[in-house]
């Protein structure tokens, strides 16, 4: 605890504090603008953190994450368009409440619920990340290999689209890491004689391309439609009584705690993310309500459920990232990349050997929430003109920042080409129904899976150890169960619908 409080104080050092505030504000603005996701915002922030000390850079990113998770509610409530996928369910009740003449109540219920849900999830973050990291310290290469396989199988199984497409995306991600030198002997492979491929594809340009370029191109399909003209004019009353709003939230303790737990759990599961958390929490709130028929008409319950869960999801994602070095979602994937750039090896040793940075991240997470309330409140004064920025102005600026983010990694133009190639691939994957999250997770875990497998085989050639060592066997069994459960679920859904679960056919 001493370390936690001392790093808390360190965060009040002017440069650190300003960086955290700038991160939160960037997150709120990015989250509020429809079409700019939290992942995109954190990608755009990344090049600014290259020159910062490690903790300052990571605190900035945590600021973006916390701010972005709450920022999406502004456009959800005022325009009826969720700023980020994490705020989809907020739209269901936030927009009707705002249209009924209470935009201030709708927005502030969301902001305070985000803050309270996020802070509640902070406690399991500190306790869970540290304890899980100590548990993972006892893991050998067999357990790590099995853990990564379990992670991949969960992510592929949870893909909304077809199971086989989720699996192909994750295995393709593993294949991407095979290009270049092998991780143990540094022997070049799959290079086709091209020098650039000797070092393999750099991770960050892939990530920026897959999520950044593909998202912008998908948005261009809809450019010029719907967004303009919806929602409010520039003059509307946002004044509320804050004590009354907070009392309203605490008057629903079951909804608040249940939604926080849903968000936390979804965050801990790798690569599911806030988009699933808010919808699941909303669904649970509706099912558990005495008046489910009123959901969607502008009641506070839906806003509280959605917003407390999406900020609690941040805490859950950070637990997985800090304890195991596995990203909980795309945002923590970028943060993992940032850790590596700063010379820090992610994994269970991170919390032990870099305790000041780890506890600094905990402290930044806690401090970011009250700061988010203040900064989002200030942003509300200018929010509407900003969130209504047209796509043809926004897209080129975001693309320029994505290009700089890829290029600045080591100042070579090949990184920009990597960004372009994987961006185009990401867009094609979206259009053909392949999920992106398993691909990115495969890219992140590829080297680690290979290294741990070879280490295990070099320690003992008995491959049965993967099944007979308790933790390793347990995790492999969970992988099979997760896979089998997913198959059964899809089969049942297809049977109920009376049609196969795949997408509609499209001819070439």
Partner 1 sequence: MRRDTGIGVGLLAFCGLLYWQAGLVSAPPFVPIGPAFYPRVILILLAGLAVWLIAEDLLQRRAPAREAAKSAGPAPNYRKVLLGFIVFLGYVAGLSLIGYPAATVLFVLTLSWSIGPRNVRELPKLIVIAIGTTLATYLIFEKYLYVFLPRGLLF
Q: List contacts with partner 1 (CB under 8 A).
A: 47-48, 50-51, 162, 164-165, 167-168, 171-172, 174-175, 178, 182, 184-185, 187-190, 192, 213, 216-217, 220-226, 390-393, 395-397, 399-401, 403-404, 407-408, 411, 413, 416-417, 420, 424, 427, 432, 450, 453-454, 457-458, 461, 499-500, 502-508
DSSP string spanning 175-239? Answer: HHTTSEE-TTT--EES-TT-GGGGG---HHHHHIIIIIIHHHHHHHHTTTSSSTT-S--S-----
Question: Which is nearer to partner 1, 427 or 466 (by Cβ)?
Answer: 427
DSSP string spanning 267-287? Answer: HHSTT--HHHHHHHHHHHHHH
- With b for 16 or more beta-carbon neighbours within 10 A and e for fewer, the 211-228 pattern comes to bbbbbbbebeeeeeeebe
Q: Which residues contact 50 (CB under 8 A, 6 or more apart)?
A: 57, 341, 408
Question: Which is nearer to partner 1, 257 or 457 (by Cβ)?
Answer: 457
Question: Which is nearer to partner 1, 281 or 449 (by Cβ)?
Answer: 449
For 230: left if phi > 0, alpha if psi spans -120 to 50, otherwise beta; the answer is: beta
Question: Which is nearer to partner 1, 282 or 453 (by Cβ)?
Answer: 453
Q: Count other C-beta atoms under 10 Å from residue 106's C-beta.
A: 28
Q: Count other C-beta atoms under 10 Å from residue 469's C-beta.
A: 18
- Encoded tokens for 196: 């650039």
Closest separation in Å from C-beta 225 to partner 1: 5
Question: Which is nearer to partner 1, 1 or 464 (by Cβ)?
Answer: 464
Question: Which is nearer to partner 1, 101 or 224 (by Cβ)?
Answer: 224
Residue 180 phi, psi dihedral angles, 5° rounding: 95, -165
- Encoded tokens for 335: 């943060």
Closest separation in Å from C-beta 408 to partner 1: 4
Distance CA 337, CA 22 (A): 20
DSSP string spanning 25-63? Answer: HHHHHHHHSTT--HHHHHHHHHHHHTTS-HHHHHHHHHH
Q: Count other C-beta atoms under 10 Å from residue 278's C-beta.
A: 37
């Amino acid at each position: 605890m001493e370390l936690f409080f001392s790093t808390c104080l360190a965060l009040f050092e002017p440069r650190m504090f300003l960086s955290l505030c700038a991160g939160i504000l960037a997150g709120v603005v990015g989250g509020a603008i429809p079409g700019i996701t939290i992942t995109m915002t954190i990608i755009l922030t990344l090049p600014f953190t290259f020159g910062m000390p490690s903790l300052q850079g990571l605190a900035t990113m945590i600021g973006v994450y916390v701010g972005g998770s709450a920022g999406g509610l502004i456009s959800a409530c005022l325009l009826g368009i969720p700023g980020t996928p994490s705020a989809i369910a907020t739209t269901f009740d936030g927009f009707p409440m705002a249209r009924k003449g209470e935009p201030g109540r709708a927005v502030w219920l969301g902001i305070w619920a985000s803050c309270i849900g996020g802070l509640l999830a902070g406690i399991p973050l500190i306790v869970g990340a540290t304890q899980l990291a100590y548990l993972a310290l006892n893991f050998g290469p067999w357990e790590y290999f099995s853990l990564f396989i379990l992670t991949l199988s969960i992510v592929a199984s949870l893909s909304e689209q077809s199971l086989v497409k989720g699996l192909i995306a994750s295995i393709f991600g593993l294949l991407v890491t095979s290009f270049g030198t092998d991780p143990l002997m540094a022997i070049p492979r799959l290079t086709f004689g091209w020098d650039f491929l000797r070092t393999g594809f750099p991770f960050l340009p892939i990530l920026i391309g897959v999520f950044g370029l593909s998202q912008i191109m998908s948005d261009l399909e809809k450019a010029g439609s719907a967004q303009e003209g919806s929602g409010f004019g520039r003059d509307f009353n946002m004044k509320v009584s804050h004590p009354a709003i907070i009392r309203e939230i605490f008057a629903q303790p079951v909804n608040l705690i249940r939604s926080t737990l849903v968000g936390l759990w979804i965050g801990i599961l790798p690569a599911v993310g806030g988009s699933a958390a808010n919808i699941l929490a909303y669904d649970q709130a509706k099912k558990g309500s005495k008046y489910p028929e009123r959901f969607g008409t502008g009641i506070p319950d839906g806003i509280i459920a959605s917003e407390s869960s999406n900020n609690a999801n941040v805490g859950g994602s950070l637990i997985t990232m800090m304890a195991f070095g596995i990203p909980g979602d795309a945002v923590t994937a970028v943060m993992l990349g940032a850790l590596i750039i700063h010379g820090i090896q992610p994994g269970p040793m991170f919390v032990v050997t870099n305790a000041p940075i780890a506890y600094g991240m905990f402290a930044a997470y806690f401090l970011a929430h009250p700061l988010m309330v203040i900064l989002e409140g200030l942003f509300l004064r200018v929010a509407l003109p900003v969130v209504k920025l047209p796509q043809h102005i926004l897209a080129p600026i975001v693309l320029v920042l994505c290009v700089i983010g890829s290029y600045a990694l080591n100042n070579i133009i090949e990184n920009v080409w990597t960004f372009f190639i994987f961006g185009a691939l990401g867009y094609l994957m979206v259009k053909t129904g392949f999920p992106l999250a398993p691909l990115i997770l495969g890219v992140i875990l590829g080297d680690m899976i290979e290294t741990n497998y070879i280490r295990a085989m070099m320690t003992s050639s008995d491959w049965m150890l993967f099944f007979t060592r308790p933790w390793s066997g347990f995790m492999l069994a969970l992988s099979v169960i997760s896979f089998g459960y997913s198959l059964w679920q899809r089969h049942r859904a297809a049977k109920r619908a009376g049609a196969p679960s795949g997408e509609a056919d499209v001819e070439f």
